[in-house]
Structure 1
């Protein structure tokens, strides 16, 4: 079971994502703003962070920078209405542009959480 943090200020989207991911067997935590996300990141071991970039209090880029500095092994899937250029070169394991389909979300989460198979020789 993977531990996933959803960092999203849109309540309806957060609740939907939480229901979907819990239905897939994941343990899900949520944060409605960047400040709550930073607090959760400090106290909870996580496998994946679903991160919106446009957040109140502390924006998603600041959360991403803290993640890369403090817990670089935590995977990040950016889920935002911004284009990829908003990442300003920050490395992430996945990127979904809103709006996205349920299939695209589940595929992206699976791809990020499933280690790549070694290439056969």
Structure 2
């Protein structure tokens, strides 16, 4: 079993590449957004399969939040944009060889998603 990496002050603060998963922060933030944004009473419809929207299925849950909170043709491009950003973050999260650069770009997009979701709920 590998010893977990714990940062310590030294001359080389970067962990060895074999010990770091660049997408781990993305994974955590996406699931936090999922937990905060999705409300079963508001976002589940009658007849929905609850397993399809369990907490581990953030892609479906976030897509449903966007459908409900941004209805109508005026918001179609914004819904599409948010779904694509969620899908991209999800694909990098599960990519076995994502680079630090890719993860950084996706982390920025997840920050943008958090801000979009925050704005969606401001007027509610």
Q: TM-score, normalised by structure 1?
A: 0.31
| Higher relative contact order (CA closer than 8 Å, sequence separation 6+) | 2
Q: TM-score, normalised by structure 2?
A: 0.30
Q: Which one has a bigger Cα radius of gyration?
A: 2
Judging by fraction of residues, say which structure has more helix.
Answer: 2
